[in-house]
């Protein structure tokens, strides 16, 4: 009878499993790096690309990566500001040469 009770205890303990650790966001690190690089104007394009990659990786894993989204917004803003400044300076230099 002892062997049956011992085997029942083993089966009872087998049913209880430790809770697995929470899944980590796979795009979090890339999103943070992208955000940091997007804030710096001279590396905003690299930050924009890394933020997009981190955002896509997170979305595929089922996570919402707000840091990567912020990096995308900031990187795109710097890109637009840079393009506007280049066009403006190009037009101003063209007008200056005409006079």
Per-residue pLDDT tens over the stretch 59-71: 999 999 999 999 9
For 86, the 3-state DSSP assignment is helix
- Residue-range definition of the domain harbouring residue 80: 32-99
Q: Which residues of 29-62 are buried (b: 16+ CB within 10 A; e: fewer)?
A: ebbbbbbebbeeeebbbebbbbbbbbbebbeeee
Whether residue 7 lies inside any domain: the answer is no
Whether residue 44 lies inside any domain: the answer is yes
Number of structural domains found in the chain: 1
Whether residue 70 lies inside any domain: the answer is yes
Whether residue 6 lies inside any domain: the answer is no
Q: Report CA torsion sign: 62, 67, 70, 74.
A: negative
When pLDDT is averaged across residues 78-87 and rounded to a whole number, the result is 96
Write the DSSP string, 19-58. PPPPPPPTTHHHHHHHHHHHHSGGGHHHHHHHHHHHHHHH
Higher pLDDT: 21 or 8? It is 21
pTM of the model: 0.73
The confidence band for 4, taking pLDDT boundaries of 50, 70 and 90, is: low
When pLDDT is averaged across residues 48-57 and rounded to a whole number, the result is 97
């Amino acid at each position: 009878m002892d062997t049956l009770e011992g085997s029942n205890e083993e089966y009872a303990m087998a049913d209880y499993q430790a809770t697995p650790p929470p899944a980590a966001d796979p795009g979090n690190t890339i999103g943070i790096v992208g955000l940091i690089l997007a804030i710096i104007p001279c590396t905003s394009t690299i930050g924009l690309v890394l933020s997009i990659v981190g955002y896509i990786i997170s979305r595929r894993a089922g996570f919402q990566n707000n840091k990567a989204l912020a990096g995308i917004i900031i990187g795109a803003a710097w890109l637009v500001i840079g393009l506007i400044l280049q066009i403006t300076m190009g037009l101003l230099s063209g007008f200056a040469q005409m006079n």
